[in-house]
Every structure is written in C-alpha cells, then in structure tokens.
Homo-oligomer: A and B are copies of this chain.
Amino acid sequence: MARTALTATAEAPVPNGTLVCPYFHEAIELLGKRWSGAIVHELLAGPRRFSALSHSIPQISDRLLSIRLKELEACGIVTREVYEDSPVRVDYALTPKGRALEPSLKAIGAWARTWLHD
C-alpha cells in the first residue's frame, strides 16, 4: 500500500513512522463500533424495516439497534424513509455514502472467511 494512502500529509512526519490519517481512523472506528458494520452489511442487500434488521442481527437489542441507526443516519450513511401507509411503514436504507462502503465490507468479509474460518 502506498504510504501516502492512509497517512496524514498535513502533519509533520515522526521518526520511523508517520501519523495515521484521522479520516482513516474515524472510518475504521465507525465501522467497528459494536454492530455498525453488521447493520451496514445487512442494508447493502436493500432497504429494511426495523423489525427485519432486528431479526437479521438477533444479538442486538432494539434499544442499541435504534441508537446505531440514529448514529449512522447522523453521519449520512443511513437514511430513514417513511411511507404513509396504514400503519405507517419506516424503511432504513443506505445513502450513496453508505453504499460506497461495499468494497470495504467485501474485503473484510473475504479476509474473515480466509483467516478466521478454521
């Protein structure tokens, strides 16, 4: 990997190493937050209702799922679509920023299958 790819150019280099890019750091901690990656992965397949997400990730409590969806919405990865049916239907979907995470999640999935599967 090119060293410039993940390192901050605005910061002064330090001996025998470079400062980690804050955007890279922010991205990886965002995805690694408990269940956030799993939620984004699930939404890559298409919009989901809250109950469907809850079924797909049975280990997550409804309270935490709600918190994570609000966080992902706040950072522009997930959007909440309300349909005026009766009863009102709410779908969660990925924004373009969220869908752009597909190659990252795919690469992590490939690594996991190769190195964690045994």
Contact = CB atoms under 8 A, between A and B. Distances in A.
Identical subunits present: 2
Contacts of A117: 23
Interface residues of A, number: 59
Interface string A12-46: 00111111110111111111111011100110110
B25 A28 contact: no
A14 B109 contact: no
Given A17-B55, A23-B109, A24-B108, 15 more contacts: A6-B109, A17-B45, A17-B56, A18-B45, A18-B56, A20-B56, A20-B57, A23-B112, A23-B116, A28-B105, A29-B34, A29-B37, A31-B31, A32-B32, A32-B36
